[in-house]
Amino acid sequence: MKSLIRKILIGDAVISEYSKITIQGEIKEKVYLETSKKSIDISQNHWLLCIEPVIFGVWIEKDEFKPALMKSREYKIYFNSCDIERTRKKPLAELTLHFFDCIEEINGTLLLLKLEKSKIHHLNFLKTYLLFSRYYKKNGLTFSKFKSFVSAYSYPRRIRIISFRQDDYYNIFPMDLLGDIEQSNRYVFGLRHTNLALDGIIKTGKLVVSEVPYEYKDIIYQLGKHHSSKPPPLASLPFKLVQSKNFKFYIPAWAESYKEIQILKTLDLGSHMLLWGESNEKNMLNKPANHLFLIHFLQYLRQKMDSSVYDLA
């Protein structure tokens, strides 16, 4: 009976919390920010930066958008499966958010928006709730929080590698709560307060972020242990290292490229600390490669139903 219920719920898919994927070409999904007067495509300019509370960062560059957005009391974010008008097809997720804070720059503004409520439409409500109750309802996770995670990861979140070094201490770990604002030489990060490198990063104002090929996914996930535990001796790492150009921070030799980041501002968001930094030129180490992304498992199921899935990594 259990196997039959599982078959009805997820078919032949292997249940997980998040699906690791790689993307050939461009991301299919589109994300829109809406107020009472404006609707803006923010697909490439929005990032999840905190999970308790859930806070998104949205980069707004065009001056004509700023007055309406800054005066708004409520915001909507819509996650769509492809670039279509929302009136023609229900979005994957609908979020209602309120203003939390902002960082103003000469070239644009980073809006920080706090999630108030969410709706998800990947599957019908009964299937969604059954999946939540059977596989995800653990460690105090509420259905409301579950919906917020499904929503946030209805858009692929790229995983990058962060490097830090101070005296005899080093750390190398993966992150997906971050964003590259390439046109303005800015980078934004959301680091957990429990991350052992956070105090050193804030004190020195430096870190390095690397783009990495998805083929190294197993090593990348092993590095995830370095968030909250002491990294092993350098000599015990199962890969070669190189040093960044100016900071001399350690980087996996298989990284595609890296940028050295100077931290300009920090802001406590809750469970995570926002780091706002200035990036220098991209330093290439290896040829361009396909990257590693995360989507929620419900998003992966939706893609299977639509016969439009990304490649599993």
Beta bridge partners of 279: 261
This prediction's pTM: 0.92
Going edge to edge, which strands form the sheet with 46-51?
A: 39-41, 30-34, 75-80, 93-105, 108-120, 54-60, 46-51
Q: Percentages helix, strand, coil for the chain, rounded to the nearest 5?
A: 25, 40, 35
Task: Give per-residue pLDDT as tens, 12-32.
Answer: 667 789 999 999 888 999 999
Contact 160, 40 (CB under 8 A): no
Return the pLDDT at 88.
Answer: 41
Instruction: Scan for tokens 């000469």, then name that residue.
Output: 106
Task: Give per-residue pLDDT as tens, 70-113.
Answer: 667 789 999 998 644 444 468 999 999 999 999 999 888 999 99
Contact 83, 155 (CB under 8 A): no
Return the pLDDT at 87.
Answer: 41
Map out the domains of the chain with their CATH numbers. Answer: 16-155 (2.30.110.10), 160-291 (2.30.110.10)
Return the pLDDT at 16.
Answer: 82
Return the pLDDT at 86.
Answer: 43
Task: Give per-residue pLDDT as tens, 266-302.
Answer: 999 999 999 999 998 899 999 999 999 999 999 999 9
